[in-house]
Amino acid sequence: MLGQLRALRVDQATVPQSVTVPAGATSASFTVTTTSVFEATTATISATYGGVLGTALLTVAPGTAQPVTLQTLSIDPASVAGGSASTGSVTLSGAAPAGGAAVSLSSGNPAAAQVPASVTVPAGQGSAGFTITTSAVAADTQVTITGAYGQSRTATITVLAGPTNTGLRSPSANAADSGGDGNGFESSPSGAHADDAASAVDNNGGTASSTTCTSTSRDRHRFFNYGLSVPAGSTIPGIEVRLDARADSTSDTPRMCVQLSWNGGASWTAAKSTPTLSTSMAAYVLGSATDTWGRTWTAAELSDADFRVRVINTANSTSRGFFLDWVAVRVTHQGGGGAPALDITLGGVPATIPRGPFFTATASVANAGGSSASGYTVLVSFTPSNALKLENPKNSTQSLPTVAAGGSQSVSWLIRAENAASATLTMTLRNSSGQTVDTVSQTFTITN
């Protein structure tokens, strides 16, 4: 006798298609295979023979609960200026038990970054946050923060040094620019290279009267090769230009305007102007430590190959004489030249997806630090463990290509939604020593 079998909850219980009752016997047994569940689930098993249907209910109970442990520790933002605060987060592998879960915390460099002794995840909750305070540092400093509850997890914060500056730097090269009579400071232009008694001179400047900085009828001269040496990856809060200058008369409103170029003179910032020049040599400072001249600068744009200063002499006369003793530049910069500062983000995870289809999850890593980052890996993990299946690649760890300072890289997985659940997908960035640098998670729903 051959009986047909069927299970109505095939995601929790499966049966063979049929079972044979031997001749002369009245019964036969068969195996019901179950999967892990996180709450009690009832499956209906049915059998048919000779047009008669029989059913039985099978309750699939959760297995023995695993102890709750610390699953991830993350920091956001992962880099802050010394004296600023950041936020750390701990996530458990499940809900905290009655009374809460006290996760112990420690800092690898308490002089640079400080954490509380512990943070408590409230009973029934899965995560909690804590504050990381930092102190001023002389150079960019990486600090490892460690959390422990059942097992240890680490993450890294970069404490950035405060702003510094290049000091006043002198040019070592110059060239007359187009505009006016085309010869700029026609007499001793290198006299503006140093703070001394020598001066660059522009006599009878311009071919037409104008006090407009952008007038092409006024004489212009560019200065360059300042040797600024700003570390790669630095942020630039401000640039100052100092002009030690005078005019032969205050009549006709003689002034000097300055523009900056970041690409060898192909493009220029909006101009800044001195007040009317005195007949005595005086210092005029344009810009400030917090003035970026209307744009965001990179360290590379301040190189000798790209950075230029253009001086334009304006007046309501073509008979004014202009004298420039020094055209100096001071750049304020912060960070850079130190350790990588990496931040991981997660994309491609749907908010809701039915079981069965595939999706591509991508971990993107950006480097805001001053040096390249190599030897890093990304680990993908998820809960519940049977909710998803890695299809390509099947390995849960991928090597991350070298991330240049100021650049980004990414790795992706093709993932199948296996079983209905409220699932959490986590990407963990680790350094070459296996320490966690940063993590990111996203929770989504897999439906039947």
* Cβ atoms 239, 330 nearer than 8 A: yes
- The pLDDT, as a whole number, for residue 121 is 96
User: What type of residue is 415?
Assistant: I
- Report the share of the chain in percent with pLDDT over 90: 66
pLDDT at 1 over 60: no
- The pLDDT, as a whole number, for residue 12 is 67
This model's pTM is above 0.75: no
- The pLDDT, as a whole number, for residue 260 is 98
Short-list 284, 328, 325, CA closest to 189: 325
* Cβ atoms 78, 92 nearer than 8 A: no
Tens of pLDDT, residues 37-53: 556 778 888 888 888 88
- The pLDDT, as a whole number, for residue 203 is 95
pLDDT at 128 over 70: yes
Q: Which of 208-226 are b and which e, b meaning 16 or more Cβ less than 10 Å from the residue's Cβ?
A: ebbbebebebbbbbbbbbb
- The pLDDT, as a whole number, for residue 65 is 55
Tens of pLDDT, residues 385-434: 999 999 999 999 999 998 887 788 999 999 999 999 999 999 999 988 88
Contacts (Cβ under 8 Å, ≥6 apart) of 83: 134, 135, 136, 162
Short-list 446, 444, 419, CA closest to 351: 444
Tens of pLDDT, residues 332-351: 998 766 667 788 999 999 99
Give the chain's mean pLDDT: 90
Tens of pLDDT, residues 347-380: 999 999 999 999 999 999 988 776 778 899 999 9
* Cβ atoms 282, 245 nearer than 8 A: yes
pLDDT at 322 over 60: yes
Q: Domains plus CATH for the chain?
A: 2-60 (no CATH), 66-162 (2.60.40.10), 168-333 (2.60.120.260), 336-448 (2.60.40.10)
Lowest mean pLDDT across 65-74, 84-93, 274-283? 65-74
Short-list 346, 342, 423, 363, CA closest to 387: 423
How does residue 10 score in pLDDT terms, banded at 50, 70 and 90?
A: very low
104: exposed, middle or buried (C-beta count within 10 Å: 0-12, 13-18, 19+)? middle
Average pLDDT over residues 18-35: 85
- The pLDDT, as a whole number, for residue 32 is 86
